[in-house]
Structure 1
Amino acid sequence: MIVLGCNGFSRGAEVFAERFGAVGTEKHYILGHDSGAALLVDGKLVAAVEEERLNRRKKTSDFPANAVRWCLREAGVDFSDVDLIAIPWNFTDQVFDTMMRELADAPMPPAEKAGRLGRIGELFGKVLGQEAILADFAARTGHTPDPDKVVFVPHHLAHAMTGYHMAGVRDTAFLVSDGRAELFSSVTGEIRDGKITVFEESAISANDSLGNLFASITRFLGFVPNNDEYKVMGLSGFAGPPSPNPFLEHVLRLHEDGRYSLSRPIDTERPRSYDDLFEKHFGPFEDTVAYKARIAAAAQEMLTVATSHQLRALSARTGLDHLLFEGGLALNCVNNTHLLEGSRFRDMAVGFGASDTGVVIGAAVHAWANHPDTADGPAYANAVTPYLGPEYDEAEIERTLREFGDRVRWTRRTPEEIVEDVAGLLTEKVVVGWFQGRLEHGPRALGHRSILANPRFPDIKDVINTRVKHREPFRPFAPIVLEADAPKIFEMGRKERSPYMTFVFPVREEYRSLVPGATHVDGTSRVQTITDEGAPRLAALLRRFTALTDVPCLINTSFNVAGEPIVCSPADALNCFLGTEIDYLVLGDHLVTKAGPSA
């Protein structure tokens, strides 16, 4: 059975811009962001890619026409071969009716209610309704799907099944939390034998969305909501939370069954409706690190308090000892470590597709696992890898290099020579673009489209932030380390591995002076562990680099500049290389340098 997962809306950005006032990049960041496609063949995930990597528009919410075509081409199949199309949204008539009842009960003038009713109706009619989605699919692909072969998967269930598949299809409890799904912003439950049970008494309304509140904080601090929340997380390390914490005193309210609510409902049509409260309790906005860090630290503590409250209720309800955390809030790796260490769960998994990048995978898995023809067992537990996107052979790399003419010079090396050469280069204060194999899936570079550097230089963060990434100087960088070496350098707690940069660990005291470039101001690092099986060439490079320097890790950050998607093709990599102060570029087996004045 072949299942195609698909997320994205052709008219989503247009409707949000024209009818809801979401302008600029924010028009992509409400629903449908991180659009993409995935393909499951007989339960095995064979291809997945985000649309932004192909159309080069970061966080795009557009219909994933390029991603769909690439997934089918990669698997060697056509639309006629696809048995099911899985959509990670299920905006039914009942969902619409519930939203109308909530609107009718809202304390606002009738004229405003009427205006909102019209906007919601247009959103359902043109974007989110099932007929609109089917029409959009046909218009953008040229293939009219059989409605009986289209499965609309509730958004949070798609998140849960993404994590379930990546964690090895084992029975597990789960917490899903994000901005909003159809009606809720967070749910908990269990997955047993591939079947999901949601603990409905613990569901959090979309009106009380912690994810959307965090987005409001992100916007207030001058960043892009639903994209730059990790900047708020990074800033929180520069300050301790205030005591008392205004968010805990005046915003967050905890209730029974792990539920919580906010002091005022989240209003997506008034995105700055919380700004007055922020200024009341933290003072007028100041564009300083100290001011922003104080609010960030308070927000970080609020997030931990709320999600820990949810986990205590979930723990009391389930007998399972494994936990999945999925959804946009699961990308807050500082919180993830606190959650695991403060719970009774033996382990917690956060996948490489925890945000909406992964819901195309989860929707496909859910459709496959719940189809009558596959009802006898859970989804196929194939070896999980994040390297699911496009790959370019050496011939294509050389063709691209020739197209860049006299702007670059290159030499082709053996794989062993590449490792030796780059390890030697990295002993110095240089920045290397690293482009290998299949593109990784998800929001973080995991060693195939990465920028690498030596963490022993204290100012290497400033070099990369200002001269390469063109971003804020307070931003930290993550280290990659061999899985076997990680416990020697980092206090890993209950975790034995962290392959997707989804947990933060304290750097052991004796290593902080050795890897200052990979140590945040609070003494922690967002670690990625690698193995020879998962990333053989990168592991060989790291092993050789360690032998040369006695430094046991490398800085790994995404191969892109601020505001751009991670590079996908050799041409993307070369354009980024030439537009920044990256010193060297490795494209497969080719070592590339700049020619002429840009060298």
Structure 2
Amino acid sequence: MIVLGCNGFSRVSEVFAEHFGAVGTERHYLLGHDAGAALLVDGELVAAVEEERLNREKKTTDFPVNAVECCLEHAGLKFSDIDLAAISWNFSAEVLDQMLSGITSAPTAPAAKLGLLSNMGKLFTEVVSHDAILADFAARTGFTPDPEQVVFVPHHLAHAMTGYYMAGMKDAAFLVSDGRAEVFSSLTGEIRDGRVRVFDESAIGAEYSIGLLFAATTRYLGFVPNNDEYKIMGLSGFAEPPTPNPFLEHIVQLREDGRYTFCRPLETDNPRSFEPLLERYFGPVQDSLEYMARVAAAAQEMLTVVTSHQLRAREAKTDLTHLLFEGGVALNCLNNTPLFEGSRFDDLDVSFGASDTGITIGAAVHAWVGHPDNAGRVKPAPPVTPYLGPEYDDSAIEQTLREFGGRVVSSRLSDDEIVARVAQLLTEKVVIGWYEGRIEHGPRALGHRSILANPHFPDIKDIINTRVKHREPFRPFAPLVLESDAPKVFEMGRKARSPSMTFVFPVRPEFRDVIPGATHVDGTSRMQTITDQDTPRLAALLRQFTELSDVPCLINTSFNVAGEPIVCTPADALNCFLGPEIDYLVLGNHLVTKSEASRRALT
């Protein structure tokens, strides 16, 4: 059975701009962001890619026509081969009734209600209804799917099934938390034999979304919501949360049974509705690290307290010992480690597709597992690799190098020669673009489209932030480490591995002076563990580098500059390499440097 998962809408950004006032970059951060596609063939995930990697528009909401074609091409399939198309949203008539009922019952002026009802009607009929999505699919692909072969999967169930599949399809409890789905912002439940049971009493409406509250704080501090929340995580390390914490004292109220509310509901159509409260409790926004760190630390503590409150209440509802945490809030890796350590669960998984990048996978899995032909056939699945996107072979790389002519100089080396040469280069204060194999899936570079550097140099973070990535100087960098070495370098607690860069761990005191460039101001690192099985060439590089330097980690950050998606094609990599101050580029088996003419152009 062939199942295609999709996320993205052709006109959603235009509708939000026209009817909801979301303009500029914010038009891509409300609904359908992280558009993409995934393909299951007889239950095996064979391809998945985000549309932004292909259309080069960061966080795009557009219909994923390029991603769909890429997945089908990888598998050698046509549209007519698809048995099921799985959409990672389900804006049914019942959901519309719930949304409209919420608007009419809200304590809002009648004129404002009428306007919002009209705008929601346009969004529904033009973009997100079943009929609108089917028409969009046909218009963009030229293929009209049989409505009987299209499965509309509730957004949070798609999130849960993403985690379930990537954790091997073993029975597990789940917590899903994000900005908002159709009408909710958070659900808990469990999955047994592929069947989902939601703890209905745990559902949190979008009007009390901690994801949206955290996004509102992100916007308040001058960053892009639903994209820059990791900057708040980074800032929070520069301060202790204030006592008492205004979020927990005045804004968020914890309720019985793991629920919570706010002092007043969020106005989900007005993303700035909480800014007067933030200003009241924190004072007017100041462009200073001290002020921003204080607000960020308060928001981070709020998130940690609320999710722990949710989880403690849910632990008693299930006898399962494995927990899945999915949704955009699960990308807050600073929260994940204490959440797990304070729980009774034996393990907690946060997948590389925890954000909306992964819901195409979960939607496809949900449709596949739920199909009558597969009843009773669910069994544990093998580990899933994140390297699911397009790959460009040596001939494509060499053709691209020829097209860049006199701008670069390259030499082709064997795998062993590449590893040895780059390991030696990294003993110096250099920055290297590392490009190999299929592009990784998800928001974080996991070693196939990465920028690497030596974390032993204390100022390497400043060099990469200011000269290469062109981003804020307070931003930390993640180290990668061999899984076998991780407990020696980091205080891992009950975790044995972190392959998806979704947990933060304290750096052991004796290693803080060894890897200062990858140690945040609070003494922690959001690290990635790697193995010979997962990334053999990268593992070999790290092993040789460690032998040469006695440094057991490498800095790994995404191969892009601020505002751009992670590079995908060889041309993307070369263009990125030629712009900022990256010293070397490994492009497959080619070691690339800038030509003398390119160097002169940069000076």
Whether TM exceeds 0.5 here: the answer is: yes
Three-state SS of the structure 1 residue aligned to 2:46 is: strand
- 1:157 correspondence with 2:157: yes
User: Which deviates further from its counterpart, 409-418 or 91-100?
Assistant: 91-100
Three-state SS of the structure 1 residue aligned to 2:237 is: helix
The one-letter amino acid paired with 1:224 is V
Distance 1:160 1:272 in 2: 30
Contact 1:44 1:382 in 2 (8 A): no
Structure 2 equivalent of residue 538 of structure 1: 538
Distance 2:597 2:248 in 1: 55
Distance 2:139 2:539 in 1: 45
The Cα shift of 1:450 comes to 0.1
Distance 1:590 1:111 in 2: 63
The Cα shift of 1:287 comes to 0.7
Kindly report which structure 2 residues correspond to 1:59-78, keeping only aligned pairs within 5 A, or say none: 59-78=59-78
The Cα shift of 1:108 comes to 1.5
Contact 1:347 1:495 in 2 (8 A): yes
Structure 2 equivalent of residue 249 of structure 1: 249
Three-state SS of the structure 2 residue aligned to 1:356 is: coil
Kindly report which structure 2 residues correspond to 1:7-18, keeping only aligned pairs within 5 A, or say none: 7-18=7-18
Distance 1:414 1:119 in 2: 59
The one-letter amino acid paired with 2:12 is G
Distance 2:120 2:472 in 1: 37
The one-letter amino acid paired with 2:371 is H
Distance 1:60 1:285 in 2: 29
Distance 2:119 2:581 in 1: 46
The Cα shift of 1:380 comes to 6.3
Structure 2 equivalent of residue 6 of structure 1: 6
User: Which deviates further from its counterpart, 261-270 or 199-208?
Assistant: 261-270
The Cα shift of 1:258 comes to 0.9
Structure 2 equivalent of residue 87 of structure 1: 87
Contact 2:408 2:598 in 1 (8 A): no
Structure 2 equivalent of residue 436 of structure 1: 436
Structure 2 equivalent of residue 221 of structure 1: 221
Contact 1:365 1:379 in 2 (8 A): no
Kindly report which structure 2 residues correspond to 1:549-560, keeping only aligned pairs within 5 A, or say none: 549-560=549-560
Three-state SS of the structure 2 residue aligned to 1:317 is: coil
Three-state SS of the structure 2 residue aligned to 1:510 is: helix
Distance 1:141 1:380 in 2: 34
- The normalised TM-score by structure 2 is 0.99
Structure 2 equivalent of residue 517 of structure 1: 517
Provide Cα deviations, 1:227-284, integer angstroms capped at 9, x if missing partner.
0000001100000000000000011111122111111211132211111111111111
Three-state SS of the structure 2 residue aligned to 1:6 is: strand
- The normalised TM-score by structure 1 is 0.99
- 1:208 correspondence with 2:214: no
Structure 2 equivalent of residue 264 of structure 1: 264
Structure 2 equivalent of residue 575 of structure 1: 575
User: Which deviates further from its counterpart, 269-278 or 450-459?
Assistant: 269-278
Distance 2:590 2:138 in 1: 41
- 1:181 correspondence with 2:181: yes
Kindly report which structure 2 residues correspond to 1:139-538, keeping only aligned pairs within 5 A, or say none: 139-378=139-378, 381-538=381-538
Q: Structure 1 unaligned runs (5+)?
A: none
The Cα shift of 1:465 comes to 0.2
Structure 2 equivalent of residue 107 of structure 1: 107
Distance 1:282 1:354 in 2: 31
The one-letter amino acid paired with 1:595 is S
Distance 2:533 2:261 in 1: 45
Three-state SS of the structure 2 residue aligned to 1:357 is: coil
Tell me the number of residue pairs that the alignment of Structure 1 and Structure 2 aligns: 599
The one-letter amino acid paired with 2:375 is A
Distance 2:353 2:379 in 1: 17
Three-state SS of the structure 1 residue aligned to 2:357 is: helix
The Cα shift of 1:430 comes to 0.2
Distance 2:99 2:13 in 1: 21
The one-letter amino acid paired with 2:101 is R
Distance 2:193 2:347 in 1: 19
The Cα shift of 1:383 comes to 2.8
Three-state SS of the structure 1 residue aligned to 2:324 is: strand
Provide Cα deviations, 1:416-454, integer angstroms capped at 9, x if missing partner.
000000000000000000000000000000000000000
Three-state SS of the structure 1 residue aligned to 2:174 is: strand
Distance 1:445 1:168 in 2: 22
Distance 1:408 1:268 in 2: 49
Three-state SS of the structure 2 residue aligned to 1:529 is: strand
Provide Cα deviations, 1:494-524, integer angstroms capped at 9, x if missing partner.
1000000000000000000000000000000
The one-letter amino acid paired with 2:173 is A
The one-letter amino acid paired with 1:59 is K
Kindly report which structure 2 residues correspond to 1:110-149, keeping only aligned pairs within 5 A, or say none: 110-149=110-149
Q: Percent identity?
A: 73
Distance 1:69 1:380 in 2: 29
Three-state SS of the structure 2 residue aligned to 1:238 is: coil
Contact 1:570 1:587 in 2 (8 A): yes
The Cα shift of 1:377 comes to 2.3
Distance 2:257 2:356 in 1: 26
Structure 2 equivalent of residue 563 of structure 1: 563
Distance 1:456 1:429 in 2: 9
Distance 2:598 2:556 in 1: 24
Distance 1:591 1:470 in 2: 24
Provide Cα deviations, 1:550-580, integer angstroms capped at 9, x if missing partner.
0000000000000000000000000000011
Contact 2:166 2:351 in 1 (8 A): yes
Provide Cα deviations, 1:56-99, integer angstroms capped at 9, x if missing partner.
00000000000000000000011111000000100010111111
| RMSD, matched Cα | 0.7
Three-state SS of the structure 2 residue aligned to 1:480 is: strand
Provide Cα deviations, 1:519-556, integer angstroms capped at 9, x if missing partner.
00000000100000000000000000000000000000
Distance 1:380 1:321 in 2: 16
Contact 1:451 1:557 in 2 (8 A): yes
Distance 1:351 1:313 in 2: 23
The Cα shift of 1:379 comes to 6.2
The one-letter amino acid paired with 2:86 is A
The one-letter amino acid paired with 1:401 is L
Provide Cα deviations, 1:332-378, integer angstroms capped at 9, x if missing partner.
00000010011111110000000000000000000000100001122
The one-letter amino acid paired with 1:581 is E
Distance 1:109 1:304 in 2: 35
Structure 1 equivalent of residue 43 of structure 2: 43
The one-letter amino acid paired with 1:478 is A
Provide Cα deviations, 1:274-304, integer angstroms capped at 9, x if missing partner.
1111111111110111101000000000001
